[in-house]
Amino acid sequence: MTQSSIPRRAIRGPFLTFHADPFTTDPMDALHHEPDGLILTENGLIIAAGSWDGLRDTIPAGTAVDHYPDMLISAGMIDTHVHYPQLPVIASYGEQLLEWLENYVFPAEARYADITYARAVARQFLTELLRVGTTTAAVYCTVHPQSVDAFFEESERLNTCMIAGKVLMDRNAPENLRDTAQSGYDQSAELIARWHNRGRQLYAVTPRFAPT
């Protein structure tokens, strides 16, 4: 690819960034708000970010500027714990955790033995994550290997960075959702070989319960 053919973008608008760890210093000192900023990207990577006045003269000739004066631009959010198979049962009522699992979650998760169904929910789930600005997540799938394949197929299509794995559980669940230690190991090993470090996809070994 020649230098002139590398895709470039210029994004103008208010943005937030951090230049220190807000957990080890005053969050207001770690945070930087640029009220009228410019972000320059090249081939999908940020090459410059700062004030509009300071960077406007560095915009390459012929580059269109996308202006979002009424928005707040930030890096994508990261969700550290989310279950994509539970999307269809959001807001299901349960007095206690076990009753909620038995009445809603486990019956819903049994459907992910069907990869066609798993693919449909994975697409909806990732679409909703991106819609609210979450670009990376640590994701629980179900006990079924095909639920993992469906999820990573869709993440790969979208080029999102996701960390996911099939849940491992040999107790505290209905029989149709249980592993054995051996099947959990074997299926996880196959999934790791297929998906870990494939593009932007990362595999996580994912026990469901502490007893497992």
**How would residue 94 be classed by pLDDT, with cut points 50, 70 and 90?**
confident
Query: Among the three residues 67, 98, 115, which one is the final residue of a domain in this structure?
Result: 67
Percent of the chain with pLDDT over 70: 97
- Taking only the tens place, the pLDDT of each residue in 1-60 is 344 455 889 999 999 998 899 899 998 899 999 999 999 999 888 999 999 999 999 999
**Closest among 150, 175, 162 to 204, alpha carbons compared:** 162
Sign of the torsion formed by the C-alpha atoms of 21, 23, 24 and 30: positive
Asked whether residue 56 falls in the same domain as residue 98, the answer is no
Within a domain: residue 104? Answer: yes
Q: What is the pLDDT of residue 3?
A: 44
The CA distance from 173 to 39, in Å, is 49
| DSSP 8-class letter at 22 | T
CA neighbor of 143 nearest in space, from 102, 119, 116, 171: 171
Residue 192 lies in a domain: yes
Which structural domain range is residue 124 located in? 77-207
- 173 and 137 part of one domain: yes
62 and 25 in a single domain? The answer is: yes
For the chain, the distance separating the N- and C-terminal CA atoms, rounded to the nearest angstrom, is: 50
User: Cα–Cα distance between 30 and 27 in angstroms, integer?
Assistant: 5
Residue with token string 């959010």: 77
Consecutive H or E run containing 189: helix 181-195
Q: What is 130-182 written as a DSSP string? A: HHTTEEEEEEE--SSHHHHHHHHHHHHHHT-EEEEE-EE-SSSS-GGGPPPHH
Confidence of residue 160 (pLDDT cuts 50, 70, 90): very high
DSSP symbols for 66-131: EE-TTS-B-PPEEEEEEEGGGGGGTT---SSHHHHIIIIIHHHHHGGGSHHHHHHHHHHHHHHHHH
Which residues does 50 contact at the CB level (< 8 Å), separation at least 6?
Answer: 34, 37, 38
Give one word for 172, left, alpha or beta, with left for phi > 0 and alpha for psi -120 to 50. left
Say what the pLDDT of residue 28 is. Answer: 87
pLDDT of residue 95: 80
94 and 55 housed in the same domain: no
Q: For 175-199, write each residue's pLDDT tens digit.
A: 999 999 999 999 999 999 999 999 9
124 and 197 housed in the same domain: yes
Asked if residues 165 and 203 have their Cβ atoms less than 8 Å apart, the reply is yes
Domain boundary among 19, 44, 67: 67
- Would you call 67 exposed, middle or buried from its count of C-beta atoms within 10 A (0-12, 13-18, 19+)? middle
